[in-house]
Structure 1
Amino acid sequence: MNWDTVNRDFKRYLLLERGLAENSIVAYQNDVNKLQNYAELHELAIPQITTKELQNFLVWVNEFSISTYSQARLLSGIKTFFKFLQIEYDVEHNPAELLESPRITRKMPAVLSIEEIDQLIAAIDLSTPEGMRNKAILEVLYGCGLRVSELCNLKRSNLYLDVEFIKVEGKGNKERLIPIGQQAIQYLRIYMDEVRVHIPVKPDSEDFVFLNRRGSPLSRVMIFLIIKDLSAKIGLQKEISPHTFRHSFASHLVEGGADLRAVQDMLGHESITTTEIYTHIDKDYLQSVITQFHPRS
């Protein structure tokens, strides 16, 4: 049982048996690579890795000052790996079975106010083709609550603007339909009709909505830089990312009285508990209103 063979089989298992997306597979492989580095450093073969060795491994990893969330994610990957060994290699004992994940305190996501979103979008220079594209990007990002990967992979063939819907491919290659508002539709059409038609599109990129000036799909990093530049332009003090627009989309819907199940469907959350965090944001908002305006506060 050598690492190269096991790693290859593990990747195949994640792809075919678990049906995971490429990003998730890479994350699991990175977890196992860390374990492999530790095992080779201590001259341990895979069958020699015990629960005690895994505990020592987690202590070793913690020396690199990784966050509690990263530790929990790493442990999840390691548990999946040993579960795979039980299934595919008939390994009797699972040394990861009794390991407990570190307790994670749920951190409230950063949320922009409607005024801050308006300021960011208003700061875009619409005199350039890139500015018209960026306007459409932010309108779609906030108007549909997309993950940045979903935005980068958005296809023209999945735009149903006449009926005000788009189809996106989320985590685990799961597709979902999301309503798209008139403002996002307006600027998306302007971009498609007046900017994108003049871009020399690279082969295999014809169906992607958002392209760079060379005709390739935009990367996640590029979206982040667009938002970072706009944030600096208006002097915004909050640390924001593309995901902040997704959080703001959900928070503003919940504040407005939207049904939590509907928000869950639009965000593509598997569990309603993930969506419920936005009810806590709403409670914080209500508390601040009481503190600010109630005469007995």
Structure 2
Amino acid sequence: MDLSAPDQEIKQNTAESDLVDLFLTWKQENENCSTRTISKYRGLLKKFGGYIDNDFGAAELKILEQFSGGWLHRAGYSAASRKVAVAALRGFYSFLAKRHFIDKNPAVGLVYPKIGRKLPRFMGLKNAESLLLQPDLDSLSGLRDSAMLALLIGCGFRVAGLCGLNESQLIWYQYGEVERLAIRILEKGERERLVPVPLEAMLLVQAYLGHHDLKNIDRLLESGDQVLFVNMRNRHVPEWEHRGELRRLSCRTIDRMIKKYAISAGVPEDQAHAHAMRHLFGTELAESDSSTLQIQALMGHADPKTSGIYTHIAMRKMTHVLDKGNPLSKMDTPVTALLNEFKKGKLM
């Protein structure tokens, strides 16, 4: 197939080493890939370029398999990391083939490595409750922290999405006889979703926004919007420049905040992060008989298979089914009499 004039001109003026940048620019602008994904793809494709001396057009399927398999494995890459490499290579060569930089796509037959899917480690309800009770509600920073924790627990937000919130993303609507809050959040490649906010979190957000100290903070952006959750200090800028976008909290600050409250509350270290709260949110949706599609919509998963994981860890629901139907409960066992005594005393 002949190249169109624009494609021919681009091909003639693009060096082999520039193809990666061309692909990643297109991917970021057209598929809204996150900065983190673009960075990972760039690193892996640059490594592949070094592997084949940047002669991308000469690569064959066998070369792609050797790089994404044995070479990356020996370099210490896990199966999950090699899966990302395969995705990068498949996308890259599909891009080159569709724009006629190469005659044939060698990555069509490149398969993903098989990896197991880990069940997420979620925070327990008691631990989430203890964490939420740590902030001091008499201070602006304490109210801010409590509101953010409530949104992480009650809406399953990712930290980056929470940090990026502006006040215009708070949507007030009528639900029956009362006014309710929803949040239009942008996460992972600027994917947008509208999430209803639990009443408890709504009240904490309102209390934070109504705090008299917040009125003295300049959080106005050039767009006319306002940063929602603000930092109280920024050592990297003079006090008179500490306004607008520079008032926005960083993901690291929120991570440190969670860990600080987790230590005070006695929450285990492996649960002291925002994703453990997100997993709690997904698990409780599954416990409450939410469908996979409902979980997917509320959590913003691109793939419903990801949402389906939470049905596997809905322990209260499975325990109820087990206690109702397991064969041991329908026969005499060596501990049946003891178990009956425990039940009479409401110990079980």
Superposition TM-score tier, normalisation by shorter sequence = 0.7 to 0.9
Give the 3 Å change call, closer, same or farther, for CA 209–172 of structure 1 in structure 2. Answer: same
Give deviations 1:84-131, integer Å, cap 9, x for gaps.
111123412223222221112111101122111001111224454322
Which position in structure 2 is the counterpart of 1:229? 260
- The number of aligned residues is 293
Which position in structure 1 is the counterpart of 2:216? 198
Which position in structure 2 is the counterpart of 1:15? 28
Once residues 222 and 274 of structure 2 are traced to their aligned partners in structure 1, the CA distance between those partners, rounded to angstroms, is 25
Give the 3 Å change call, closer, same or farther, for CA 256–75 of structure 1 in structure 2. Answer: same
Once residues 120 and 33 of structure 2 are traced to their aligned partners in structure 1, the CA distance between those partners, rounded to angstroms, is 25
In structure 2, which of residues 227, 234, 242 is the aligned counterpart of residue 208 of structure 1? 227
Which of the two has higher C-alpha Rg?
2
Give deviations 1:27-49, integer Å, cap 9, x for gaps.
3323322322433xxx3522232
Give the 3 Å change call, closer, same or farther, for CA 44–156 of structure 1 in structure 2. Answer: closer
Give deviations 1:153-194, integer Å, cap 9, x for gaps.
112101024432111123343322111011101111122221
| Structure 1 counterpart SS, 2:122 | coil
Q: Among all aligned residue pairs of Structure 1 and Structure 2, give the percentage whose two residues are the same amino acid.
A: 26
Give the 3 Å change call, closer, same or farther, for CA 238–255 of structure 1 in structure 2. Answer: farther
Which position in structure 1 is the counterpart of 2:197? 180
The answer on 1:255 being equivalent to 2:273 is no
User: Does structure 1 conserve the Cα–Cα contact (< 8 Å) formed by 2:156 and 2:279?
Assistant: yes
Q: Provide the aligned C-alpha RMSD in A.
A: 2.7
Give the 3 Å change call, closer, same or farther, for CA 202–273 of structure 1 in structure 2. Answer: same
In structure 2, which of residues 41, 46, 51 is the aligned counterpart of residue 38 of structure 1? 51
Output the TM-score relative to the length of structure 2. Answer: 0.75
| Structure 2 counterpart SS, 1:239 | helix
Which position in structure 1 is the counterpart of 2:299? 267
Once residues 8 and 56 of structure 1 are traced to their aligned partners in structure 2, the CA distance between those partners, rounded to angstroms, is 23
Structure 2: give runs of 5+ residues left out of the alignment.
Answer: 1-13, 173-178, 234-242, 336-348
Output the TM-score relative to the length of structure 1. Answer: 0.87
User: Does structure 2 conserve the Cα–Cα contact (< 8 Å) formed by 1:3 and 1:36?
Assistant: no
Once residues 33 and 126 of structure 2 are traced to their aligned partners in structure 1, the CA distance between those partners, rounded to angstroms, is 38
Which position in structure 2 is the counterpart of 1:137? 148
User: Does structure 1 conserve the Cα–Cα contact (< 8 Å) formed by 2:220 and 2:226?
Assistant: no
User: Does structure 1 conserve the Cα–Cα contact (< 8 Å) formed by 2:156 and 2:282?
Assistant: yes
Give the 3 Å change call, closer, same or farther, for CA 75–182 of structure 1 in structure 2. Answer: same
Structure-to-structure mapping, 1:26-105, within 5 angstroms: 26-39=39-52, 43-58=53-68, 59-105=70-116
Structure 1: give runs of 5+ residues left out of the alignment.
Answer: none
Give deviations 1:169-222, integer Å, cap 9, x for gaps.
233433221110111011111222214333343754952211211452112222
Once residues 7 and 90 of structure 1 are traced to their aligned partners in structure 2, the CA distance between those partners, rounded to angstroms, is 12
